[in-house]
Amino acid sequence: MSEQENKKIIFSGIQPTGTFTLGNYIGAVSHWGKLQDEYNCIYSIVDMHAITVRQDPVKLRQHTLEAYALIMACGVDPKKSIAFIQSHVRTHAELNWILACSTQFGELSRMTQFKDKSAKHPDDINAGLFTYPVLMAADILAYKADLVPVGVDQKQHLELARNVAQRFNSKYGELFTVPDAYIPKVGAKVMSLQDPEKKMSKSDENPNACIYILDEPDVIIRKFKRAVTDSDSVVRYAEDKPGISNLMSIYSVITGKDYASIEREFDGKGYGDFKLAVGEAVADHLKPVRDEFARLMADKAYLKECYTAGAQAALNISRKTVAKAYRKVGFVDSM
């Protein structure tokens, strides 16, 4: 990672809970590679967050490796960025406790994602599910990140991290950078292909609702052909046409064309032609990602070399922050 002092620091993490969706790609991961030249980027596969819901240990290990390979396939260069697996860097858990003692119970009880996940997993409402926003704050604050790429559903967690940083700084003296949100201007939210009123999610029970970035081309095209639209036949972006507007948003991000250009391109053509075009554009765009992912997964030694070096670099930065936090709260120096 570049050591240039004038570059701001970006931190972002993604959970290794299965293959990334097109929504993950457009809203987050596709931007990570582009940010590397402008910012000092720190990226993490946040496997500690993943166990707030029950995981198969064998699958979690596999998904973690796959997620690491996927962020590289999507453009993250371990020579330009720090890219690591969260559980490999002990300072995240260490800082989590310090920050938990500067977080109010009421703040955590207002987190909408806790309410949503509790409803989905009523038989396992564990303490980690309740407190994981504090660990998320530790992920960010350990590196004094200036910016955090967040989707709409993560804004609340970032606001908590800001509040915790400000509260700690006010009580113990300045230490943590108060992070701001980095939100992509285009394509930040991709909706379900079967219910365009809700976000695309890998947990959707309808297999046609979600595109995975490792889906084969024929699967991608088939899912787009089955996408829910409306009874009209005009390709036009409008609030009362959520299905077609979602497809236009995806097509715009993938091709770089604005909505006016897309409307002209498909003037006089039906939804069938448009859905096919979107599917083919997405399938072609993701081919290099699929090919690079396959290459990386075939070279486990190289992957280990990258994530080991990334963890060491992350530890070198974060342990300085944690040591200062320990000293500020009054802990005796260990060495």
- Give residue-wise pLDDT tens across range 152-202: 667 888 999 999 999 999 999 999 999 999 976 655 579 999 999 998 988
For the question of residue 199 being annotated catalytic, the response is yes
Q: Are residues 74 and 91 in the same domain?
A: yes
Same domain, yes or no: 55 and 167: yes
Per-residue tokens: 139: 């992920």
Integer angstrom CA distances of residue 53 from 86, 99, 160: 17, 22, 21
Task: Indicate yes or no: pTM above 0.85.
Answer: yes
232 and 262 fall within a common domain: yes
Asked if 311 and 281 sit in the same domain, the reply is: no
Could you tell me if 261 and 314 lie in one domain? no
25 falls within a domain: yes
| 285 and 312 both lie in a single domain | no
For residue 223, the domain's CATH number is: 1.10.240.10
Tell me: do 112 and 179 sit in the same domain: yes
| Residue 174 counted as domain residue | yes
Residue 4 lies in a domain: no
Is 185 in the active site? no
Angle at CA of residue 219, ends 218 and 224, nearest 5°:
100
Question: Which range of residues forms the domain containing residue 120?
Answer: 9-187+300-329
Residues 93-110 pLDDT 10s: 999 999 999 999 999 988
Q: What is the pLDDT of residue 186?
A: 56
Residue 195 in domain: no
- Judge whether 98 lies within some domain: yes
Whether residues 241 and 314 share a domain: the answer is no
Q: How many domains does the chain have?
A: 2
Instruction: Check residue 4 and give its pLDDT.
Output: 53
- Residue burial 287-320, b: 16+ Cβ < 10 Å; e: rest: eebbebbeebbeeeeebeebbeebbebbbebbbe
Does residue 309 form part of some domain? yes
**Distance of CA 134 to CAs 49, 108, 248, 299, Å?**
11, 9, 37, 35
Residue of 80, 199, 257, 328 with catalytic role: 199
pLDDT attached to residue 128: 86
pLDDT for residue 120: 76
The pLDDT of residue 172 is 97
Catalytic annotation, pick one of 117, 144, 223, 275: 117
Which amino acid does the sequence have at 170?
A: S
Q: What is the pLDDT of residues 102-139, one digit of tens each?
A: 999 999 988 887 777 777 778 888 888 899 999 999 99
Same-domain status, 288 and 325: no
| 45 shares a domain with 183 | yes
Q: pLDDT below 70 — which residues of the chain?
A: 1-5, 152-153, 184-188, 335
CATH code: domain of residue 116: 3.40.50.620
Active-site residue, 117 included: yes
Q: Which of 8, 202, 324, 328 is catalytic?
A: 202
With 0-12 / 13-18 / 19 or more C-beta atoms within 10 angstroms meaning exposed / middle / buried, residue 139 is buried
